[in-house]
């Protein structure tokens, strides 16, 4: 998130002093000042807090794109997800609940069960208690699930793939274990249907949104995506839990905190603070 400090001569959709989302994949935003293309700055409403705006184009965008557009999960269907206790996992639970999608949520600790159920999770699976595919079929039936999103890979991702129905689709959007998903572990299962393992990466989709067909009213697709995020943040569906704020001179501490397990909220880097 940034404040417009200066504009090039041909820019007429922004004003100096305006608060904007900054897409700056080339230079990065861990700085007090950055020069970006005007087309990659998007004005945001005054009523959305800075910490929420700074998080718009990562977790909220990913939740919307995966559920509503890439997978296009219909209401009434089951969605299986790993890392359900993460900030993004919680957003997915709330968004799915709003859209009428039922969620099966994988966590490692029983302590997370009550909290996720309070958010709207329809079922919570403890990965250490039994194979995930067995737990899934005990809940949804022998056919399995049609949709899944995985941030873990490794054994968790492998068991999630085995949870898919004959035409099921699974998006791999992370690899917390740095281990592969073994889709060919059981050749009979892999070959006996049309199950698909696909990859989701936000950096792939954002530059291609205008050509994706996901948004079609003639405006910039990213601008339409931001409109969706703003509406859902206002509803409390895609809000980010803000964590500690760090100035730039404590960037090492900020990164250490961001990478620590069990942290409380999303770390915010606030240039200009001391």
**Domain edges within the chain:** 2-57+220-240, 71-199
pTM: 0.92
The per-residue pLDDT for 25 is 81
- What is the DSSP code string of 136-185? HHHHH-TT-EEEEEES--HHHHHHHHTTEEEEEEEEE---TT-----TTS
Over residues 83-95, mean pLDDT: 96
Closest CA to 199 of 214, 183, 210: 183
Half-sphere exposure of 110 (CA within 13 A, CB side): 2
The per-residue pLDDT for 271 is 85
Helix 132-140 × helix 154-161 angle, to 10°: 30
The per-residue pLDDT for 224 is 94
The gap between the terminal CA atoms of the chain, to the nearest Å, is 18
User: How many other CB atoms are found less than 10 A from the CB of residue 77?
Assistant: 16
What pLDDT digit, counting tens, does each position of 190-242 carry?
A: 888 899 999 999 999 999 999 999 998 778 999 999 999 999 999 999 999 98
Q: Take residue 132 and report the two structure tokens written for it.
A: 């995930």
Asked if the model's pLDDT at residue 274 lies above 70, the reply is: no
Asked if the model's pLDDT at residue 40 lies above 70, the reply is: yes
For 90, the enclosing helix (H) or strand (E) is helix 87-98
d(CA 175, CA 239): 24
Asked if the model's pLDDT at residue 102 lies above 70, the reply is: yes
Which CATH topology does 71-199 take?
Rossmann fold (3.40.50)
What pLDDT digit, counting tens, does each position of 239-273 carry?
A: 999 899 999 999 999 999 998 877 778 899 988 77
d(CA 252, CA 266): 15
Report phi then psi at 133, rounded to 5.
-65, -35
């Amino acid at each position: 998130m940034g404040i417009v400090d200066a504009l090039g001569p041909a820019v007429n959709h922004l004003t100096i002093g305006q608060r904007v989302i900054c897409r700056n994949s080339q230079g990065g935003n861990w700085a007090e000042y950055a020069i970006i293309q005007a087309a990659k700055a998007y004005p945001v409403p005054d009523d959305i807090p800075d910490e929420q705006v700074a998080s718009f184009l990562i977790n909220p965008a990913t939740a919307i794109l995966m559920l509503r557009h890439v997978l296009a999960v219909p209401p009434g269907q089951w969605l299986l997800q790993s890392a359900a206790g993460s900030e993004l996992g919680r957003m997915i639970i709330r968004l799915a609940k709003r859209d009428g999608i039922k969620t099966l949520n994988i966590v490692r600790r029983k302590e997370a069960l009550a909290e996720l159920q309070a958010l709207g999770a329809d079922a919570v699976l403890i990965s250490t208690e039994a194979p995930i595919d067995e737990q899934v079929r005990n809940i949804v039936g022998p056919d399995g699930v049609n949709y899944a999103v995985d941030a873990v890979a490794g054994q968790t991702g492998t068991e999630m793939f085995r949870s898919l129905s004959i035409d099921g689709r699974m998006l791999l959007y992370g690899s917390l274990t740095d281990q592969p998903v073994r889709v060919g572990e059981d050749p009979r299962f892999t070959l006996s249907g049309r199950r698909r393992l696909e990859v989701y990466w936000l950096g792939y989709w954002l530059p291609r949104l205008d050509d994706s067909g996901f948004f079609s009213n003639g405006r910039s697709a990213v601008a339409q995506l931001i409109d969706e995020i703003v509406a859902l943040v206002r509803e409390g569906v895609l809000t980010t839990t803000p964590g500690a704020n760090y100035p730039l001179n404590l960037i090492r501490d900020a990164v250490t905190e961001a990478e620590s397990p069990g942290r409380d909220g999303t770390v915010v880097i606030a240039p200009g603070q001391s």
